Structure 1
């Protein structure tokens, strides 16, 4: 199940655009808004923001290590990551916003240099990807956590090639999960993926961006059509 390719510069630009959209949402949050729960068990909006900050900082460290030929592992112990997020989530809303902005900006400046870099990187989920896919991984994280922060949103606007690329990237991660459901995804943009699972296969058709949200978060949009095979 190869990852579909989109122009690298387009993916990097999409990270910038959707990070800006996320920051445009969170800048209006009050401290009470930050304390609101999300659909992620046990996580408030502050935890989601802390997770994004922590992820950006770890990616920055990994990218810096590429040039120094040090370890390129982003994967950390679950307890260590949980402690880091819990500490960051205690910050005020203003401090969270500043940390989101500054960590994202620093990371964004480093992404263009990854074009064509095939150095293996172990993500914090334990998957190994080439370094050039780091922007794709970050884009998926920003898109999904934007949805977590704004539970009313059900649609993401992405260029077709970029939407297919980030969907294919997430499909590869989904295929490695234990006890996954059996799915066939048919994107309007011409991408199809089959993943065997533990139950009868469901086919879902629609735009690639909508399929991404359904696969990762179970978010249904009116543009999706589901049927059992």
Structure 2
């Protein structure tokens, strides 16, 4: 039975493996394929790739910042982030593929030193996690954006342990935000967690991977169902 937290080495390996899967998808893209829209409003596949490359570079900056004792954010500002992604999306498909590969490889090399690192890092304003969870944050980005590209990949391709770890991570990230309705997520693998504002929660049941996609992207799945009082 998976626990809420996969082993650190397992997560780091999953980042490498799922990055390779994503690169295997994008290597076959033509220029028209790169220009195709995604499920993210206003973003083409080129935007997704530019975002992933910028995200990897930003995480490297954060890691170097905590190592040097000079805390650094992933981006100077939201405007700087937006500009970098828009400019990156204008480059050729080959250039995007190379950037995706090289930025991911550099970040992967940094991850090993983060095992057991409890120093807090800010990946975005108001969102802090222990440095040791950065590989899990990156894994979530790679997995969800691989789905955004419209490929055949889905969260059903995740191992149970990794799916549960990602679900627990997203539950922690969302927390008790007032803009989320009260929800209780019950995974088939044994994990349970709650998000959203206070109130009587709606209970969602299903495989952890499907719940991740539903929670993060609103992706419907025939394997997810709502519990009602009559089910109790």
The two structures have a TM-score, normalised by structure 1, of: 0.92
**What does residue 141 of structure 1 align with?**
141
CA distance, structure 2, for counterparts of residue 7 and residue 37 of structure 1: 36
Tell me, which stretches of 5 or more residues in structure 2 are unaligned? none
> Does structure 1 conserve the Cα–Cα contact (< 8 Å) formed by 2:167 and 2:208?
yes
Specify every segment of 5 or more residues in structure 1 that has no aligned partner in the other structure, as ranges: none
Aligned to 2:158: 158
Cα contact 1:154–1:219 (8 A) shared by 2: no
1:65 deviates by 2.0
Q: Which residue of 2 aligns with 1:27?
A: 27
1:46 aligned onto 2:84: no
CA contact (8 A) 2:176 2:196 kept: no
Q: Deviations over 1:74-133 (max 9, x none)?
A: 354211110110011110011000000010011111111100111110012530111000
Q: Count how many residue pairs are aligned between Structure 1 and Structure 2.
A: 227
Structure 2 Cα separation of the partners of residues 91 and 47 of structure 1:
10
* Aligned mates of 2:151, 2:27 — CA distance in 1: 16
Give the direction of change, closer, same or farther, for the CA distance of 1:187–1:118 in structure 2 (3 Å limit).
Answer: same
Q: What are the superposed Cα offsets for residues 116-151 of structure 1, whole Å, 9 maximum, x if unpaired?
A: 111110012530111000001000010110010126
Q: TM-score, normalised by structure 2?
A: 0.90
Aligned counterparts, 1:70-89, within 5 A: 70-74=70-74, 76-89=76-89
Query: Is residue 173 of structure 1 aligned with residue 173 of structure 2?
Result: yes
RMSD: 2.0
Q: Does the 8 Å CA contact 1:155/1:221 hold for their aligned counterparts?
A: no
How many angstroms apart in 2 are the aligned matches of 1:155 and 1:162?
A: 10
> Is 1:97 paired with 2:97?
yes
Distance between the aligned counterparts of 1:13 and 1:173, measured in 2? 22
